[in-house]
Chains A and B, each alone.
Chain A
Amino acid sequence: MLPPYFEFQNSVKLLCGELSLERLANELQQQGAKAPMLLTDALLYKLGTVDAVLSSMEAEGCRPACIFTDIPVDSSLRVVNSIAALYHHHRCDALVAVGGGSVIDTAKGVRLLLSQHTDDILSISGVENLSRGTHIPFIVVPTTAGTGSECTGVAVIRNDDTGVKMEFLSPFVQPDVAVIDPRMTQGLPPKATASTGMDALCHAVEACTCQQANPLSQAYGTAAIRLIATHITQATRKGSDKQARFAMALASTMAGIAFSNSMVGAVHAIGHALGGVCHVPHAVAMTILLPHVMRYNLSHAAASYAALLPALVGDEAALSTPTDKRAEASIAAIEQIERELHDICGLPLTLEAAGVPRETFAQVAAVAINDGALIVNPRAADEQQIISILNAAY
């Protein structure tokens, strides 16, 4: 059934595939940037991942005016505010973010601050509440295949004072350009490949089945699910497989486009809370919670889950499954993928394995019910129901 109304926007130029990194300098030039600020994290800098980006830029005569490498695992409001001050200090004129979700979300926050001419990002928090502001050229180079942050209109940034992950929703946080170069994810360890891939799968599943789902987000979402179901185990098992890496990078981007235009759901609401309260890595939380939240939602989203089965197991296997069993079969297919990933790389599949103490469940639930992602979940959830989901996932 078609929704009565929906919106869809993706204004990010995507550079996908071979030698896409080598086009970065040209893109900066086209954006009118001469003194870009490069943002990354310490690990990527130490591993030399950033060197590839810097080399590609310098080969074409482009040097960053400033390189900031201290972005923490969870992006924070304080870091965003301090980077914006540095941007002004070094007279930068563009942002280049090289990293995973935290780096890109931090960069989005910085861009918001700069374009809206404010000193404190908290003052502009909200949903679709901003005007375009000053254009700050912004290019991202994702180094994981999971967050899809390169194409989303949302920045998730942790409030240092409350520990809560805050969402800033605006089409103006979307980058101008995203460089999807499979080389950037080839060094990713198996466990990170698996968990970030599951994060992308979660984005796609929730985008296709939440209350804000629409035909366009579902088209991107199901295409992403098909790519992930086909390639995630191979990308995890053999990281050097370029085809599998490229497929996962594309899937992550498509899932990002999907959920940016239809939001997510309870998996993310609870996952954000687990991240804020227990510091569970986002992708690990998504992996653990996805099948349990799907089971919780089953009574309200059976038809949507059933529609995902062909993308998860292939058309023939889906068609041979009785219609009334397809929703449950979709959940089983996801659990099967997770078990395979667990066998390959030890991906944790329970909250206990992720080191979450049961005593924190009440606190996690209290935070989760105030997460914006919950509003479009197919089924409402109160604190007790969230605790039940957490218990099932323990």
Chain B
Amino acid sequence: MKLSLQKFIVGIVLRVVHAALVELYGIDSRVKAEFDALPERMSYAIATGHHAPTLFVRWKKGKLVRLQQLHAAVCTLRVKSTAHSFQLFTGQMGLAQAYARHAFTMQGEIADVMKLARLVNIVEAYLFPKIITKRILTDIPALQANPLRVYGKIALGFLRFKY
């Protein structure tokens, strides 16, 4: 697959992941608890490769705000290549597997990555079918809602320019 297409897909998935986190905050009690425990203005950045899409989010006044430009985040993950990002964001490799394969570097505290990893695992459990999550997660988090409801809310959110 062409590098530009990989970057495009990764960019879309990053936006969906952010949208899923926003929606799951109101749906899944574990996601709500994780976010509620974050300090005000906690921020995560994910860089997916050279001249590749980035996701920069900040927890501010009870909302996960997506910022357009990559600033210095409290916790920054830099995936080592677009190829690895593509694997990570298309269900070919879980976050723990990415860590085990040295697929990213991290600036910040490992404890913050663990919080993000738990959130991403829950998002993956909703967004990916079981055939994928079985391969990329050691244990699949139990779903607290129908994934179709999550997809529906995300679609509606995009239509309303919510994210």
Known: A126-B105, A375-B96. A369 touches B114 (CB 8 A): yes
- In the complex where A370-B114, A372-B113 touch, is A212 in contact with B106 (Cβ < 8 A)? no
**Also in contact, A164 and B107, with CB within 8 A (given A211-B100, A376-B99):** no
Tell me the interface secondary structure of chain A in the complex.
Answer: loop
A167 within 8 A of partner (CB): yes
CA A259 – CA B108 in complex, angstroms? 22
A164 touches B137 (CB 8 A): no
Scan residues 70-92 of chain B and give those whose CB is less than 8 A from a CB of chain A. Answer: 78
With known contacts A127-B106, A375-B117, A380-B139, A164–B111 Cβ distance under 8 A: yes
A372→B110 CA distance, assembly (Å): 6
CB–CB B109/A125 < 8 A: yes
Binding stretch for chain B, among A1-9, A19-27, A190-198, A354-362: A1-9
Indicate the member of A127, A164, A169 with the most B CB atoms within 10 Å. A127
A300 on the B face (CB < 8 A) = yes
| Number of B residues, CB within 8 Å of A | 25
B97 within 8 A of A: yes
In the complex, the answer to whether A371 meets B110 with C-beta atoms within 8 Å is: yes
B61 at the interface (CB under 8 A from A): no
Residues of B within 8 A of A369 (CB): 114, 118
Contact, CB under 8 Å: A380 / B138: yes
B115 within 8 Å of A (CB atoms)? yes
Give Cα distance in the complex from A212 to B108, angstroms.
21
> What distance in Å separates the Cβ of A384 from its nearest Cβ neighbour in chain B?
12
Q: When each residue 118-161 of chain B gets 1 if its CB lies under 8 Å from chain A and 0 otherwise, what string results?
A: 10010000000000000001110000000000000000000000
Closest to B109 in A: A125
CA distance A371 to B118 in the complex (A): 12
Q: Does A379 contact B (CB under 8 A)?
A: yes
Q: Is the Cβ of B111 less than 8 Å from the Cβ of A370?
A: yes
Report the bound CA distance from A374 to B97 in whole Å.
Answer: 12
Q: Give the chain A neighbours of B2 by CB distance below 8 A.
A: none
- Check if B106 sits within 8 Å of A374, measured CB to CB: no
Q: Given the complex, which residues of B lie within 8 Å of A212, measured CB to CB?
A: 99-100
Q: Given A125-B108, A125-B109, A126-B106, does the pair A370, B115 have CB atoms closer than 8 Å?
A: yes
16 A-B contacts (beta carbon < 8 Å): A4-B101, A126-B106, A126-B108, A127-B110, A128-B102, A128-B105, A129-B105, A169-B110, A211-B100, A212-B99, A212-B100, A370-B111, A371-B111, A375-B95, A375-B113, A379-B138
Which A residues have a C-beta under 8 Å from some C-beta of B? Answer: 3-7, 125-129, 164, 166-167, 169, 211-212, 263, 300, 369-372, 374-380
In the complex, besides A125-B107, A126-B105, A263-B100, 17 extra interface pairs with C-beta distance below 8 angstroms are: A7-B102, A126-B106, A126-B108, A126-B110, A127-B105, A127-B113, A128-B106, A129-B78, A129-B107, A166-B110, A167-B110, A211-B100, A370-B114, A371-B110, A374-B114, A375-B114, A375-B117
Which 9 pairs of residues, A with B, have the shortest CB-CB distance?
A: A372-B110, A370-B111, A380-B139, A212-B100, A127-B106, A126-B107, A128-B105, A5-B101, A370-B114
